[in-house]
Amino acid sequence: MNPDEILAQIADEVSVCQKCSLHQSRKKSVPGVGPVNSEIMFIGEGPGFHENEQGLPFVGAAGKFLDELLAQAGLARADVWIGNVVKCRPPENRDPLPDELIACDQYLERQIAVINPKIIVTLGRYSMGKFFPDARISAIHGQMRRSGDRFIIAMFHPAAALHQAKLKPTILADFAQLPALLEKARTLLSAAVPARQVEPDEPHEDPKQLSLF
Ligand code: URA
Ligand code: SF4
């Protein structure tokens, strides 16, 4: 399977998944959307009313604001992957429960593995909690932190910024930093060449020859 087929396969599995009780409130599953070669993945919480109707992430009011935030960072939806930690709508938009987050995580893990983004932006505390379980968003938002082969940046959820006016300048400022942080991530990740790809300056001595001495 090529990477696009793997993403499609994951979406197919999600559409019929019954691994947690959220499948009962599902109209359309929302596996996430975006090119398989996206350098940035945005991960929100879970589908709301409109997402459940359309099967697409961030298409309601929070989504409109996300589009504005992306635009001011010089990004379009077509450039990035957007998804959520749970793929089916929690009833009445309640918070996802721990067992639901655990049940759904395997899909997101496989999506991250195949997309292999340079940066993951977590939107809100549930996706932040996947990477930084003990962090407080007010303390770490906007900071780029290394996690294995990539970087994670926690940001406030766009819906939170819509409801709390004082968060709006903060989330705008965090998004405005994204182009520079992506440039930095590209540099840092390309500098970290895996050992097997490093050309030795001197030919390696053959251990068998060494043993002759
Ligand atoms: N809020 C989210 O966290 N995700 C969506 O897809 C829509 C709203
Ligand atoms: Fe499956 Fe995730 Fe939907 Fe639960 S939320 S039913 S784990 S796809």
Our answer on whether the CB atom of 152 is closer than 6 Å to any ligand 2 atom is no
pLDDT band at 205 (very low <50, low <70, confident <90, very high): very low
Q: Report which of 37, 28, 96, 79 is spatially closest to residue 57, judged by C-alpha positions.
A: 28
Q: Kindly list the domain boundaries of the chain, sorted by start residue.
A: 3-185
- Residues 52-110: tens digit of each pLDDT: 999 999 999 999 999 999 998 999 999 999 999 999 999 999 999 999 999 999 999 99
* Average per-residue pLDDT for the chain: 92
Q: What is the pLDDT of residue 97?
A: 98
Q: What is the pLDDT of residue 196?
A: 56
* pLDDT of 210 higher than 90: no
- Residues 60-72: tens digit of each pLDDT: 999 999 999 999 8
Q: What is the pTM of this model?
A: 0.90
Q: What is the pLDDT of residue 178?
A: 97
Q: What is the pLDDT of residue 201?
A: 52
* pLDDT of 204 higher than 80: no
Our answer on whether the CB atom of 48 is closer than 6 Å to any ligand 1 atom is yes
211, burial (CB in 10 Å: exposed 0-12, middle 13-18, buried 19+): exposed
Our answer on whether the CB atom of 55 is closer than 6 Å to any ligand 1 atom is no
Q: What is the pLDDT of residue 82?
A: 98
**Residue 47 CB contacts under 8 Å (≥ 6 apart), including other chains:** 29, 30, 57, 84, 86, 87, 88, 89
Closest C-alpha residue for ligand 2 atom 8: 14
Q: What is the pLDDT of residue 55?
A: 98
pLDDT mean over 128-146: 97
Count of all residues that appear for the chain in the document: 213
Q: What is the pLDDT of residue 76?
A: 94
How big is the CA angle at 41 (ends 38 and 45), to the nearest 5 degrees? 150
pLDDT band at 193 (very low <50, low <70, confident <90, very high): low
87 contacts 33 by C-beta, under 8 angstroms: no
Which ligand does the CA of 20 lie closest to?
2
Cα(61) to centroid of ligand 2, in Å?
23
pLDDT band at 194 (very low <50, low <70, confident <90, very high): low
131 contacts 117 by C-beta, under 8 angstroms: no
Residue percentage of the chain with pLDDT more than 70: 90
Q: What is the CA radius of gyration of the chain?
A: 20
Which ligand does the CA of 99 lie closest to?
2
Written as six digits, the tokens of 10 are 């994951």
* pLDDT of 124 higher than 80: yes
**Residue 83 CB contacts under 8 Å (≥ 6 apart), including other chains:** 30, 31, 32, 33, 34, 41, 42, 43, 44, 57, 108, 111
- Rounded Cα distance, 126 and 43, in Å: 9
CATH code of the domain occupying 3-185: 3.40.470.10
* pLDDT of 206 higher than 60: no
Q: What is the pLDDT of residue 25?
A: 87
